[in-house]
Amino acid sequence: MVFDTKVAILVLDDLAVWQKLNVTAFLATGIAAAAPEAMGEPYEDAAGRQYPRLLGQPMLIFAAGPEVLQRAFRQAIERNLTRAVYVRAMFSTGHDAANRDAFRAEPPDTPGLVGLALRGLKKDVDKATKGAVLHS
């Protein structure tokens, strides 16, 4: 299947593994919440048990340095891509309201990003993620 849109998650390359996984999970939920039309249908196993919907298209996970993250952030704003963000200060909070406060305290043009998720037209996401490498 060919998609008009693309989902990319960029994660700071020097984080601990648990942090990379945590950031990726949080950012994926941000994209899913912002794009309910991108959600697939519910799953059902052979016994008839129901499971929740998942995003209906692949998500590419990239490793990136701080400069690439900031560049992608600027490109995403310029191209009006859907953005989900995670900043380093959010590792020290314990709940959603504190996360929002931590993000609000960041410089708006250069937040301390450790993760960024993008969704939009493929060509725009590709331009924004230029310089990032697929996570391995």
Domains identified in the chain, total number? 1
For residue 15, give the DSSP letter.
S
Tell me the residue type at 51: Y
Partners of 60 in the β-ladder = 8
Residue 9 structure tokens: 């998650």
pLDDT digits (tens, 9 = 90+) for 80-126: 999 999 999 999 998 999 999 999 999 999 999 999 999 999 999 99
DSSP H or E segment with residue 130: none
Residue 2: the pLDDT is 86
For residue 130, the enclosing domain spans 5-29+56-134
| CATH number of the domain that residue 81 is part of | 3.40.1490.10
CB under 8 Å to 124, separation ≥6 — which residues?
75, 79, 81
pLDDT digits (tens, 9 = 90+) for 27-83: 999 999 999 999 999 999 999 999 999 999 999 999 999 999 999 999 999 999 999
- The SS3 assignment for 19 reads helix
